[in-house]
Amino acid sequence: ETGVTQTPRHLVMGMTNKKSLKCEQHLGHNAMYWYKQSAKKPLELMFVYSLEERVENNSVPSRFSPECPNSSHLFLHLHTLQPEDSALYLCASSQRSGSGEAFFGQGTRLTVV
């Protein structure tokens, strides 16, 4: 399998649930990202991991918790979310040197009820 893979593709969760989103990249990149895409708004950067260390979190609420166990895998742990957190969550990877071209996964459509 190639590229960036995200699971699950769709997720419905209650406000008291705990769930996790998973991202895996098969491109040998050394940086991974979480973005949030809400209706009528530009994609928003949530977290950046470079060489498995978090370098930026952009003041994201603590109910979102990222984890990067190795350079190929990225998780976003979710707990006590709000309905306004419903959105498309996109994972991306890039090589910080060279062209820096970013590649995205297909996203997880999250609905909080």
Q: Could you say which of 66, 107, 110, 112 contacts other proteins (CB under 8 A)?
A: 107
Shortest distance, CB of residue 78 to other proteins, whole angstroms? 19
Cβ neighbours for 33, distance < 8 A, ≥ 6 positions apart:
45, 46, 47, 48, 49, 91, 92, 93, 94, 102
Q: Could you say which of 1, 2, 16, 42 contacts other proteins (CB under 8 A)?
A: 42
Residues in contact with other proteins, total (CB under 8 A)?
A: 26
Q: Does 45 bind other proteins (CB under 8 A)?
A: yes
Q: Does 70 bind other proteins (CB under 8 A)?
A: no
Q: Does 90 bind other proteins (CB under 8 A)?
A: yes
Cβ–Cβ < 8 Å for 15, 83: yes
Cβ neighbours for 70, distance < 8 A, ≥ 6 positions apart:
52
Q: How many helices (H) and strands (E) does the chain have?
A: 0, 11
As a residue count, the chain comes to 113
Q: Could you say which of 35, 36, 85, 87 contacts other proteins (CB under 8 A)?
A: 35
| Contact residues for other proteins, defined by CB under 8 A | 4, 6, 33, 35, 40-43, 45, 48, 50, 55-56, 88, 90, 92, 99-107, 109
